[in-house]
Structures are given as C-alpha cells and as structure tokens.
C-alpha cells in the first residue's frame, strides 16, 4: 500500500504491517484514503481531530448558506383591486427577501368556465410584481386551482 506520513510527505509503497507500525510509533491512526484494489492509499493522521475539523467546516458552510423558501399568495377570481394590491405588496416583499412566491387563484363552483379570466388575473399580478420578480413557471391549471410561480429578479 502507498503510505502518506502525518506531515503530508509521501513515504512510498510499504507493507501494511510497516504502515501500522509507523502509525503506532507516531501515536496516530492509519486511515484508508483511496480504496483502490491495485494500490490503496493510507495516511497517518489523528482521525478524531480530522472528523472534528470536517464537522466544523460543514457547520460553517451551512451557516453561510441561504435557504430559499416558497411563500404562497392565494386569491379568488373575484378578488377586488384593493385586496389584489395588498397581496401584490406582500408578494413583492417576499421577492425582495429572496424567496419564491406561489400565486394561487382558486375557482369555486361554476367559475371553472371562466379560466381565461383567471389567466388575466395572473397576468395582472405578474405585471404588478415585475420590478422585483419575474415569472418562474407560467400559470397553469391544477384541479380547481390555477398556479403560477414568481422568482426574485437576478441582480
């Protein structure tokens, strides 16, 4: 097997007994790095310290990561202009925060016959939010609901 010393220098190809002896003399662990059947690579290191540092790096990476949520804004076909403006203002705030917005128009009863009005409401909503967001997925019918996704604009 190929052996790498604790300070990172390549020792060379040695038998496994000699590698274990070198790790015992250093008071460290012998860790298999590359499990190649032809020539496995092992390194002499403090495995507990290695795991601790790896967990620390992963925690730091998670801390710097931004989670994008999907917020929902629901309307009906008969939503009035003032209510539409309030919902648009909330959606714009969500988009400014970097979240996606799922816009839903709910159809009740015989309103399913007026799907073209639903598309008009969706277009109006998208035009009101166009300065901070863009259409991620266009409006489509899912059962008795019409769904559209808006994403924040790229800077």
Residue 33 and residue 5: Cα distance in Å, rounded? Answer: 12
Secondary structure class of 120 (helix, strand, coil): helix
Which CATH code fits 70-152?
3.30.110.10
Q: Which two tokens stand for residue 131?
A: 């300065």
**pLDDT value, residue 136:** 92
Which parts of 64-142 fold into alpha helices (H)? 81-96, 115-128
Domain boundaries, the chain: 2-63, 70-152
114-154 pLDDT, tens digit per residue, is 999 999 999 999 999 999 999 999 999 999 999 999 999 88
Query: Which value, to the nearest 10 degrees, does the dihedral of the CA atoms of residues 124, 126, 131, 132 take?
Result: 140
Average confidence score pLDDT of the chain: 91
Which of 44, 37, 39 has its CA nearest to residue 20? 44
Residue 45 CA, chain-centre distance (Å), reads 33
Q: Which two tokens stand for residue 78?
A: 């008969």
pTM across the whole model: 0.60
**pLDDT value, residue 124:** 93
For the cut 80, the answer to whether the pLDDT of residue 65 exceeds it is no
9-60 pLDDT, tens digit per residue, is 898 899 989 999 989 998 999 999 888 888 899 999 999 999 999 999 999 9
CA–CA distance from 42 to each of 3, 46, 47, 87, 149 (Å)? 5, 13, 12, 60, 50
What class, spelled out in words, does domain 2-63 have in CATH? alpha beta
Using CB atoms within 10 Å of the CB of residue 53, give its burial: 0 to 12 exposed, 13 to 18 middle, 19+ buried.
exposed
């Amino acid at each position: 097997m190929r052996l790498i010393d604790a300070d990172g220098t390549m020792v060379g190809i040695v038998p496994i007994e000699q590698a274990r002896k070198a790790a015992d003399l250093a008071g460290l662990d012998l860790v298999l790095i590359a499990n190649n059947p032809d020539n496995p690579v092992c390194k002499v290191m403090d495995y507990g310290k290695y795991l601790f540092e790896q967990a620390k790096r992963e925690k730091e990476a998670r801390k710097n990561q931004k989670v994008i949520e999907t917020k929902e804004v629901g309307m009906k076909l008969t939503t009035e202009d003032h209510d539409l403006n309030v919902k648009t203002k909330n959606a714009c705030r969500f988009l400014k925060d970097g979240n996606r917005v799922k816009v839903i128009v709910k159809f009740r009863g015989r309103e399913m016959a007026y799907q073209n009005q639903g598309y008009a409401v969706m277009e109006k909503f998208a035009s009101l939010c166009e300065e901070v967001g863009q259409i991620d997925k266009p409006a489509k019918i899912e059962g008795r609901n019409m769904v559209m996704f808006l994403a924040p604009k790229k800077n």
